[in-house]
Amino acid sequence: NGPGVHHVAYEVADLQARLQQLKAEGVRLIDEAPRIGAHKTQIAFMHPKASGGVLTELCQPGEHQE
């Protein structure tokens, strides 16, 4: 509500492996598997309750972006 940060994004080398690691650690996820985002980037979101109220996006660049 009002101005502020919507979410933060972090680039990861292997999104699937990172999601498996987070799930094993009990981190609450919105996406348990990668999905396609803009520019063929694989993305997944952590639940804000898992990261201090901040929506966190994990991104793995598409082939043409590496």
Interval 8-54: pLDDT, tens:
999 999 999 999 999 999 999 999 999 999 888 999 999 999 999 99
Q: pTM of this prediction?
A: 0.85
Looking at the domain assignment, is residue 20 inside a domain?
Answer: yes
Strands (DSSP E) contained in the chain are 7-11, 35-36, 42-46, 55-60
Number of compact structural domains in the chain: 1
DSSP tag of 63:
G
CATH number, residue 15: 3.10.180.10
Q: Specify if 1 maps to a domain.
A: no
Closest C-alpha among 49, 45, 50, 53 to residue 9: 45
Residue span of the structural domain in which 56 resides: 7-65
Assess if residue 54 is contained within a domain: yes
- Asked whether residue 40 is domain-assigned, the answer is yes
Contact (CB, 8 A) for 50 and 3: no
- Which residue type, as a one-letter code, is found at position 27? V
Residue 37, in any domain of the structure? yes
